[in-house]
Amino acid sequence: MALTMAPPAAGGAWVPCNAAGMFPAVAIEQTPPAFPESARLAGAEGSVEVAFTVLRDGRVGWARIVHAEPSGFFEAAALSGIRQWRFEPARRDGEPIECRVQTRLRFTLADTITARIASVSPVGGDQPAPVFPEASRIAGIEGYVEVEFTVDAGGRIVEAGVNMAMPRGEFETAALAAVRQWRLPAASVERRSFTRRFEFTLPGQAARAPGPALLAAASLPLEACTRRIAGRVRLQVTTDTEGRITGARILDASPAKLFDATALAIARNSRMAPAHRNGDPIAATALLTLRFDPDTAHCPGDRPDRDGGGPRREPAPRVSAVDGCGYSGSRQPACAGYHAPPFRNAPDHGALRPP
């Protein structure tokens, strides 16, 4: 017999899964949602924010879409995937209780770069692949890099920078060197922005899907919400063998200082996919960029409209956000999104289109 979960009545709410005085729900099975074939063929990336309940037996109950960008591509896949997740239920006084979660899933495209002998010429064409660094190949190091770049109307790369890198160093240099040689089709717009993720893998290792970057979330500063200020913070972080961030320092921020405390709070409760040496995860130093936009993130006091519209401002019970992931559907499924244990509002890199 199927059991259909109804949302709470107006004025009611489920307790957040990380509320004070209780043991929070912990994910034990999170199969990545399938990347929609239509989105992959269209080269689309995006994110979906979903609210759902974790039942007393650890299954996912009621679930609904809070926001999707772009709409129409990823909502069904997000809901279908989340409904397969399983949790160790939240507990209060030792007894399992039903609770609510809000999470953001980010769907991204990734390229896999396989190590080869350095003397072999790189793939040519308008978008040459990065060269796997020889020192990393010899050391058996695997990792990944996400590059953001801007293209002018003639298709030339005019700006390129690294958003995320694990580990720091040679993979960043290789990815940037390749992207700066790219030439894209001309377009009528003066400038276009894109992101591209590169997975650097070694031949002969057991196949693995690119792992999750599970980033925590925190409310935007009140000043950013009231003045509608967007910004970004770049951090250098240290991670353990499971990818948990154990330390963070700010490299630069725009605007200066406004989002620093929020960025550090997110970093301290986050996890990235670890780097590997000879197939085994290792501790490493990584680069992480967080972007903040009050027009797409929830500000303090926002809550989704129950009728399916946009967020509305009113006092509301706090909603936790846990285990948000993004998934790659280009060359192989990958999770490259965000985990949000103790906070609510997940900043995102945005939904940029790949070339």
Flag whether pLDDT at 278 surpasses 80: yes
Kindly indicate the confidence band of residue 352, based on its pLDDT and cuts at 50, 70 and 90.
very low
More confident residue, 222 or 235: 235
- Per the CB < 8 A criterion, the answer to whether 265 and 190 are in contact is no
37-88 per-position pLDDT tens digit: 888 777 777 888 888 999 999 999 999 998 888 888 899 999 998 999 888 8
- Predicted confidence at residue 334, as pLDDT, reads 34
The H helix count followed by the E strand count for the chain is: 6, 21
Flag whether pLDDT at 210 surpasses 60: no
More confident residue, 24 or 139: 139
Average the pLDDT over 108-132 and give the result.
62
274 in any annotated domain: no
315 in any annotated domain: no
Flag whether pLDDT at 3 surpasses 70: no
More confident residue, 43 or 261: 261
Average the pLDDT over 152-168 and give the result.
92
CA dihedral 56→270→50→351, nearest 10 degrees, is -160
- Predicted confidence at residue 293, as pLDDT, reads 84
Flag whether pLDDT at 241 surpasses 60: yes
The count of structural domains within the chain is 1
More confident residue, 57 or 327: 57
Flag whether pLDDT at 331 surpasses 80: no
Flag whether pLDDT at 104 surpasses 80: no
118 in any annotated domain: yes
More confident residue, 86 or 109: 86
Looking at mean pLDDT, say which of 33-42, 146-155, 164-173 comes out highest.
164-173
- Predicted confidence at residue 33, as pLDDT, reads 80
* Matching residue, tokens 């060197």: 177
Average the pLDDT over 17-46 and give the result.
78
299 in any annotated domain: no
- Predicted confidence at residue 198, as pLDDT, reads 87
Mean pLDDT across the chain = 75
More confident residue, 41 or 250: 250
3-state secondary structure of 352: coil
134 in any annotated domain: yes
Dist. CA 326–CA 267, nearest whole Å? 17
Flag whether pLDDT at 310 surpasses 50: no
Question: Looking at residue 158, which CATH number applies to its domain?
Answer: 3.30.2420.10
38 in any annotated domain: no
170-199 per-position pLDDT tens digit: 999 999 999 999 888 887 667 778 888 888
Dist. CA 109–CA 95, nearest whole Å? 41
180 in any annotated domain: yes
- Per the CB < 8 A criterion, the answer to whether 48 and 75 are in contact is yes
- Predicted confidence at residue 171, as pLDDT, reads 95
Domain of residue 151, residue span:
110-201
**Residues contacting 78, CB < 8 A, separation 6+:** 33, 48, 50, 65, 68, 105
Among candidate residues 215, 234, 12, the one with its CA nearest the CA of residue 106: 215
The phi-psi region of residue 179 (left if phi > 0; otherwise alpha if psi is between -120 and 50; otherwise beta) is alpha
Q: Which of 131-140, 277-286, 295-304 is predicted with the least confidence, judged by mean pLDDT?
A: 295-304
Dist. CA 249–CA 60, nearest whole Å? 36
Flag whether pLDDT at 296 surpasses 80: no
195 in any annotated domain: yes
Q: Is the dihedral of CA 95, 97, 102, 106 positive or negative?
A: positive
